[in-house]
Amino acid sequence: MTYAFGAGVRLDTTVTNTSGTPADPVSIEVSILLPDGTVSGPHTPVHDGTGLYHYDYLPAQAGRYIARWVTATPTGADEEAFDVAPLWGEAGVLSLREAKKQLNIDADDTTDDDEIQGYIRSITRPCERVVGSLVRRTVVEKHEGGYAVALNAPPVLEVVSVEAILTGGDGQDVADLDVDGPTGIVQRTDGCYMRGPLRWTYTAGRTEILAHVNLAARIILQHLWDTQRGTMGGGRGFANDEVWDPRFGFSIPRRAQELLGDQPPGIA
């Protein structure tokens, strides 16, 4: 489960005895392993009923967390992982409203919202592999020196800082840089050499999602949603004119690849 940065997380557990019947332990606590390797807790959870407990936690970092429940009499331990998206990182290539409309799910029906949001996050990066960064995010990279540097996640919206990694090295003033946003190629406006290694921090992404990318994302979402529910038929029988592309394991239909601009094999 992935939560938006700043949202509270409800952790819950059910304690059972050796016969599998819910039972209240003599003691129970929950500790949380944070993304930076430190541990929050142990915390005392809230008792909701026989064998039922919860603890509300507010994450202060983005990344993967692991909640560990420990009980005594009955004695047991259980772990569950959850993720917190970076600030502004919860959104994907589609909005939840767009996704539900594509899947013919009523906007007021929230039953599958968490699952749909997981699908949206999952299809965003495959689209970005073809068309470049879509969602605005901060990227930090190391590059050696040169007269020009090609950043790895174009398009680039802004170069935030360029810092020298080695003691005595020279960073770069971003005001002295020319940034070609679509390609991510950066050079000094005076044409001078940039001595590295340098740590580049920049903002990647787009201010708008183009119509053909939006449509491709909706096609991929529909395909994966139907496949997960067993409505696409068995085996590797392809609907309509679909052709299996081994690079994508048939997660991305051919028509979506073409919309994104990636030509499938066998087409001249």
**What DSSP letter does each residue of 14-65 carry, written as one string?**
E-B-TTS-B---SEEEEEEE-TTS-EEEEEPPEEEETTEEEEEE---S-EEE
| CB-based contact 53:15 (threshold 8 Å) | yes
Structure-block tokens of residue 127 = 């689209």
Q: From start to end of 73-155, where are the E strands?
A: 76-84, 137-143, 148-150
Euclidean distance between CA atoms 206 and 154, whole angstroms = 9
- pTM for the full model? 0.69
Task: Return the pLDDT at 90.
Answer: 59
Looking at domain 2-84, which of 1.20.1250.20, 3.40.50.300, 3.40.190.10, 2.60.40.10 is its CATH number? 2.60.40.10
The most confident of the ranges 94-98, 180-184, 236-240, 256-260 is 180-184
Q: Where along the chain do its domains lie?
A: 2-84, 96-131+208-260, 137-204
| CB-based contact 124:169 (threshold 8 Å) | no
Task: Return the pLDDT at 92.
Answer: 83
Task: Return the pLDDT at 39.
Answer: 97
**What DSSP letter does each residue of 215-231 carry, written as one string?**
HHHHHHHHHHHHHHTT-
Euclidean distance between CA atoms 86 and 99, whole angstroms = 21
Task: Return the pLDDT at 231.
Answer: 55
| CB-based contact 124:134 (threshold 8 Å) | yes
Q: Does position 110 have pLDDT exceeding 70, yes or no? A: yes
Task: Return the pLDDT at 104.
Answer: 93
Cis-peptide into 197, omega within 30 deg = yes
Q: Does position 3 have pLDDT exceeding 90, yes or no? A: no
Q: Does position 103 have pLDDT exceeding 70, yes or no? A: yes
Is residue 265 classed exposed, middle or buried when 0-12, 13-18 and 19+ CB atoms within 10 A define those classes? Answer: exposed
